[in-house]
Structure 1
């Protein structure tokens, strides 16, 4: 089967995430979240990401989160002292959830529907900090182009913070008969394609728009950031998993894999 164009891939991923939103909202966790965001110091960020953000400095800063999903992490940035927060996502359905959460929060984040490749010019050169968390990079068919668009949101001297799953994990299938056997090449060029709804745990057995998950090596990620005019000031690999519970099995092994990473990249002045 011929691979669709990047534009069609991005559009199909958008449709898949719009369909996914209802499955994520129909959970007890959503009801708990609706209550929790009412606290001024609400944060769903783990200790690893919180530590990096505190080191970089968010207090009094204008922050954008690119790929904000339902906005819970964007709202969490206020607990670190952010002056203003803008969340950007291409899923209209998830942004509706973000605005619902924001209506319960004492803070006032702004949420904008946009494909990262077509950001409104009002977001260019505007932010002191940009944030990307788990499950953003792999939806991007061209990682170098993605970082060029990310860099445009930052003021000169502004910093991008990334907290993502480690690409080594893409070589394993936690649901296979032997989840510790290498299942896919680290240098895989074709995306993983799914035709069922995107859910964080388990599966929903019904058809949905095709979603495309791309494998990017660490080399491609680092080079993409550097070529976009960003200078790497922090890069650390971690032995804990920050993705679905299925991947927790890879923690605390004698031969321990790196399971996620944090990166800070500063836009040149």
Structure 2
């Protein structure tokens, strides 16, 4: 396949997410979030991420979530005592949902529409903690460049917290006839391309802007962060899945894959 330019991939991914936003509002989770965010202690974060953020320390801190989607996780940071929260995403449609949730919340996060590669100057050197959760790293064509921009948002000594799917999972296709057979190289260089709306469960059979999902090895992730001046202080792999339900089949196996990881890096 022809590799898209970085700019084309980023722009097409933005269009694909904007196309997909309305489908996410059709899910039971959306109604649950609408009802839940009215509580001051609302949180949709699981125990793994909650424990790590408590360990890093969010209480009284300024936090940015890069790739905040509909803002549900950004709003959850207030339950951990965050002083201020900024959510950044390049999808205007999902930020509309984030603001809808925030309007029902007692908290007041700020949501900013921006491509991570062109962040507003006002975000530079501003935050104690930056958060990246499932489904952000793989939308980035150049993981090293991505981390350079992320690092710029942190104060000296600030921490980047990542909770992501494990790149080993990209070698498997959970919908294949044999979902346990290796389907793709760990070192795959070309992105996976999807031309249907991006939804977390099932499929929506209609055309959409193309989305490009890039595979990054753990080595590329570590090297990209180190080259950006980030010092890795924590890395842990887990046997549970934090992505779509399709991947739950890979849990609780006798020969268990690592399914997700947490990772903390500190700005020098």
Equivalent position SS for 2:12: helix
Partner residue of 2:16?
A: 16
Determine the structure 1 residue equivalent to 2:261. 261
Counterparts of 1:219 and 1:87, CA distance in 2: 28
C-alpha distance in structure 1 between counterparts of 2:80 and 2:41, whole Å: 8
SS at match of 2:188: coil
Secondary structure, aligned partner of 2:86: strand
After TM superposition, list the pairs within 5 Å mapping 1:158-197 onto structure 2.
Answer: 158-197=158-197
1:212-227 equivalences in 2 (<5 Å): 212-227=212-227
Query: 3-state SS of the aligned residue for 1:138?
Result: helix
By how many angstroms is 1:4 displaced? 1.8
Per-residue CA deviation, residues 100-140 of structure 1 (Å, 9 max, x unaligned), is: 00000000000000000000000000000000000000000
Structure 2 gaps of 5+ residues are: none
* Number of matched pairs: 268
Residues 2-36 of structure 1, C-alpha deviations (whole Å, 9 max, x = no match): 22210010000000000010000112221121010
Provide the alpha-carbon RMSD of the alignment: 0.5
Shift of 1:149: 0.2
Distance (Å, rounded) in 1 between the aligned partners of 2:56 and 2:33 = 27
Query: 2: CA distance between counterparts of 1:158 and 1:133?
Result: 17
Matched, 1:106 2:103: no
Distance of 2:95 and 2:133 partners within structure 1: 16
> What residue in structure 2 maps to residue 31 of structure 1?
31
Gaps of 5+ in 1: none
- What CA distance in whole angstroms lies between the structure 2 residues aligned with 1:87 and 1:161? 14
Counterparts of 1:178 and 1:113, CA distance in 2:
41
Q: How does 1:80-229 map to 2 (within 5 A)?
A: 80-229=80-229
Structure 1 length normalisation: TM-score?
Answer: 0.99
| Alpha-carbon distance in 1 for matches of 2:206, 2:245 | 22
Q: Secondary structure at the match of 2:78?
A: helix
